[in-house]
Amino acid sequence: MKIIKYLFVFTLLITACKSSKNTVNTNAIAKKMSAKKVAKKHLSNSFSKKTIDAKLRVKFKNNKQNESFSVRMKIIKDEVIWLKGSKIISIFKAKITPTKVSYYSPYAKNYFEGDYSLIKDFLGTDITFEELQNIFLGQAKIENKGKEHTVEIVDNAYILSPEEQLALFDRFIHVNPTHFKLDKHVLVNDLKGQKLDITYPSYLQKEAEVFPENILINVTENNKFTNIDIDVKSVVFDTKLSIPFTIPSGYKKLNF
């Protein structure tokens, strides 16, 4: 019995050490810094690997659905995002490039090939390939030339916002003072009652990269909402990836 007890305690210690080693501690205090320097530090900490192979746990909820499922995600940076969702059985596959979205569901026997209207329907907001990729990387596109930003420190985060806000949305970029990745990225259109709120509660350290461990996406538009909770269960970088994708014949085409 004592041996079992000691093994149990040892296992707990090993697990705790592993967790603290992989999850990034965020103990730094935000000190006064110019907006230009914060933006430069954020951009200099951009993801530098070429490929990502990750296993995710996703919870999805909107006005009509409440689902949870596992996702295998493969990314060749700036080229393709490949997703396979499963819930005991395979429920969907998607291949997303900068110019095209392809999707099919063995469960629903339907498919889609075309522009980003499918992603807009899923997320509840317009999005580009670069913006979608950046969500998974904890990054924001910041024009550091020609566009001035302001910065303030709130809740120990640097909040960057353009001096002249975008035509359609007000934009707020919350940068963490420890690793200078995103704490939060917020887009707001008060006129249309629209808000996109992407939050990063934690990051992990892997192969000299700081990578999101948990991502919360909340989209609201008047009385409509979409909530997506993404947990990264495992991830490896710079491995050789296969991106298999063939839409079976006989499936019904989706239109948006």
**The pLDDT value given to residue 166:** 67
Buried b (16+ CB within 10 A) or exposed e, 174-203: bbbbbbbbbbbbbbbbeeeebbbbbbbeeb
Give, in degrees to the nearest 5, the angle at Cα 207 between 203 and 211.
20
Does the pLDDT at position 87 exceed 90? yes
Q: What angle do CA 227, 244, 72 make, to 5 degrees?
A: 35
Does the pLDDT value for residue 13 go beyond 80?
no
The domains found in the chain, sorted by start residue, are: 33-235 (2.50.20.10)
What is the per-residue pLDDT across 165-214, written as a single tens digit (0 to 9) for each?
A: 766 788 999 999 999 999 999 999 888 888 999 999 999 999 899 999 99
Q: What is the mean pLDDT of residues 133-155?
A: 87
Kindly indicate the confidence band of residue 5, based on its pLDDT and cuts at 50, 70 and 90: very low
Percent of the chain topping pLDDT 70:
89
In this structure, what DSSP letter does residue 116 have? T
Per-residue pLDDT reduced to its tens digit, 15-63? 334 433 477 777 889 999 999 999 999 999 999 999 999 999 999 999 9
> What's the pLDDT tens digit per position in 231-241?
999 999 999 99
Q: Is 237 helix (H, G, I), strand (E, B) or coil?
A: strand
- Side chain identity at residue 130, one-letter code: E
Q: Tell me if residue 242 falls in helix, strand or coil.
A: coil
Q: 3-class SS at 44?
A: helix
The mean-pLDDT minimum among 2-11, 46-55, 142-151 falls in 2-11
Distance CA 138, CA 147 (A): 22
The predicted model scores a pTM of 0.86
Whether 145 has a pLDDT exceeding 60, the answer reads: no
Which tokens belong to 226? 């979409």
Q: Are strands 224-237 and 110-114 parallel, antiparallel or unpaired?
A: unpaired
Find the helix or strand (DSSP H, E) in which 56 lies: strand 51-62
The residue among 59, 58, 52 whose CA lies nearest residue 75 is 52
